[in-house]
Amino acid sequence: MNSIATWVIFISLNLVLASCESLWNAGNRGGLKNDLTELINRKQQASVDLTCQMVGTTRTGMCKGVIPFNIVENIVSTLHLLEVTNDQPPDYDYESWISDGLCDPKQTSGIRRFKSKRRATELQLQNGSSFEYLILFYEPSSNKTCIQVSYAYG
């Protein structure tokens, strides 16, 4: 096989792989937004505008938005989230957390972090699906919030 044909195949495969990730994100971010909105509205109807995205072709996704503290408090209470302090290691591997701005688990200055237990019953959805975990990052000075979840297998 000549080098031009090899490059054409190589470039074609990369384009296919890149488009798969884009299609996965486009096809699933709406469902992610609906699922998180369902959890947020479990006990209190709250109008929250979230921007969501899936991470690659994984079961992990994140949503960002500006959420007032009273709604964050309700989310933490309803879902029985535990606050992660700087001196307390989380029981999730840091490497699996999204490292994106507000969602960066290593950024601790001015950020409050809350986490669920794994496969908590509070993370079950009405459609029968559930989340493996939920992590909420909250910046009190701006009300900026990032929620990271991973859909559970089975």
- Can you read off the two tokens belonging to residue 64? 């960002």
When pLDDT is cut at 50, 70 and 90, the band that residue 17 belongs to is: low
- Helix (H, G, I), strand (E, B), or coil: what is residue 154? coil
Q: What is the pLDDT of residue 40?
A: 84
Which pLDDT value is given to residue 140?
93
Beta bridge partners of 69: none
Does the predicted model carry a pTM greater than 0.85? no
Percent of the chain with pLDDT over 90: 33
pLDDT higher than 60, residue 75:
yes
As a dihedral over the C-alpha atoms of residue 21, residue 24, residue 26, residue 32, rounded to 10 degrees, the angle is -130
Is the confidence at residue 32, as pLDDT, over 60?
yes
Tell me the three state secondary structure of residue 65: strand
pLDDT for 41 equals: 85
